[in-house]
Structure 1
Amino acid sequence: MNRRHALRHIALISGGLALIPSCDFSKEDILAAYQKLKVTASQKALLGAISDTIIPAGEIKGALDLDVADFILVMVNDCFTKENQEKFTAGLSAFPDYVNQTLGKKYEALSVKEKEQLILDAAKLEGDDTEEGKRKAAIAYFVNSTKRFTIQGYMASEYIQTEIIPYSLIPGEYNGAVLISDLQKPRING
């Protein structure tokens, strides 16, 4: 190996070593599936926990079991304007701090009743022109949008449409002489 190649390699290696301290590996990766949103995996998990508080599992599957958080993020990514996307992500980012300031715990550590009351209170927050007021308005917008899309995504899921309330694109035949006690599951016609 000649001296020029060795010097070039030493210069490249030392330049690379100089850049390593400026690399920040502590940040969480942003999910690539949502091009217009900057959402991390922990924020998606929080969104899933909030949707599970809105529609919990019981005799039938809950919102978390049906991955409604993915539906919410796809709807926000595809259907919201840029301004509304920014307000939604600002509310999503500010929500953990709001929970900590309000109840002094993380959202996951709260009881079911505390979670329900927190969601109800956060949906009623009102903002003003101050920085704190804008944060409250973003949190309220985030919670209300999450509630709306949780219900929409849950009711439109394959599980609900096929097993709980069967969907029929074409209405069945009309039979006016059926007793109410003989009726089966209700059918939703498109």
Structure 2
Amino acid sequence: MNRREALRNLAIITGGIILVPSCNFSQEEVLVAYDNLSIKPSQAELLASIADTIIPATDTKGAADISVQDFILVMVNDCMEQDAQETFTQGLNDFESFSKNAGGKAFLKQERGTRERVITQGMSLEDEDNLHISEFLQITKRMTIQGFMASEYMMTEVRPYSLIPGTYNGEVLISNIDKESING
């Protein structure tokens, strides 16, 4: 064996030994898209489930179908103050244990009626220990509704947006008028 090959192999083995401790795949990684929040993929999935419980899929798509949880996380990350972000994160972290106490099992494994009851209970909490859960759920509900109503799906397929003042047609019977427009 050549001395250069031996040194090269030794360098490769040494580099591999140095990199092995950093290859720990057992921990869940934090989503890096959010600068001010430390959100894990499982928490984003929980948030999607909460949003889908608030606006479920019926004849229209639900909140999880149009990824409202991404809108919520971006709004909290970019538009809220630091203390509100901390309250949101703490509420998201503690919601799963609250859900287990209130509903008997993990939120993602509960039926729809139990999920609705857990969210309603969580929003009505007033004690100091669980106030952050109530604030988290109120922020989530408000952002879910805002994100759903402003989504591309809502504005193009459910209630198409038309510019104001729109077209003028002076000879229209009231019985021929289409669905109302939500143009403001």
Question: TM-score over 0.5 for the alignment?
Answer: yes
Among 159, 165, 177, which residue is 1:165 paired with?
159
**CA shift digits 1:108-136 (9 cap, x unpaired):** 221111111111110111132xxxx1xx1
Name the structure 2 match of 1:183: 177
Q: Distance in 1 between matches of 2:147 and 2:18?
A: 47
CA contact (8 A) 1:168 1:188 kept: no
CA positional deviation for 1:162: 1.1
CA positional deviation for 1:152: 0.3
User: Which 5+ residue runs of structure 1 have no aligned equivalent?
Assistant: none
Query: Does residue 78 in structure 1 map to residue 78 in structure 2?
Result: yes
| RMSD, aligned α-carbons | 2.6
Name the structure 2 match of 1:29: 29
CA contact (8 A) 2:159 2:181 kept: yes
Q: Which runs of 4+ in 1 moved over 6 A?
A: none
Name the structure 2 match of 1:154: 148
Name the structure 2 match of 1:62: 62
Q: Distance in 2 between matches of 1:88 and 1:170?
A: 37
Q: Distance in 1 between matches of 2:23 and 2:91?
A: 28
CA positional deviation for 1:176: 5.7
Q: Distance in 2 between matches of 1:124 and 1:168?
A: 39
Name the structure 2 match of 1:98: 98
The alignment of Structure 1 onto Structure 2 pairs a total of residues equal to 179
Once the two structures are aligned, what percentage of the paired residues are identical? 47
Name the structure 1 match of 2:132: 138
Name the structure 2 match of 1:50: 50
Q: Distance in 2 between matches of 1:24 and 1:83?
A: 32
Q: Distance in 2 between matches of 1:32 and 1:140?
A: 26
Q: Distance in 2 between matches of 1:141 and 1:153?
A: 18
2:183 maps to a residue whose letter is N
Using structure 1 for the length normalisation, give the TM-score: 0.83
SS in 1 for 2:94: helix
CA contact (8 A) 2:103 2:115 kept: no
2:157 maps to a residue whose letter is E
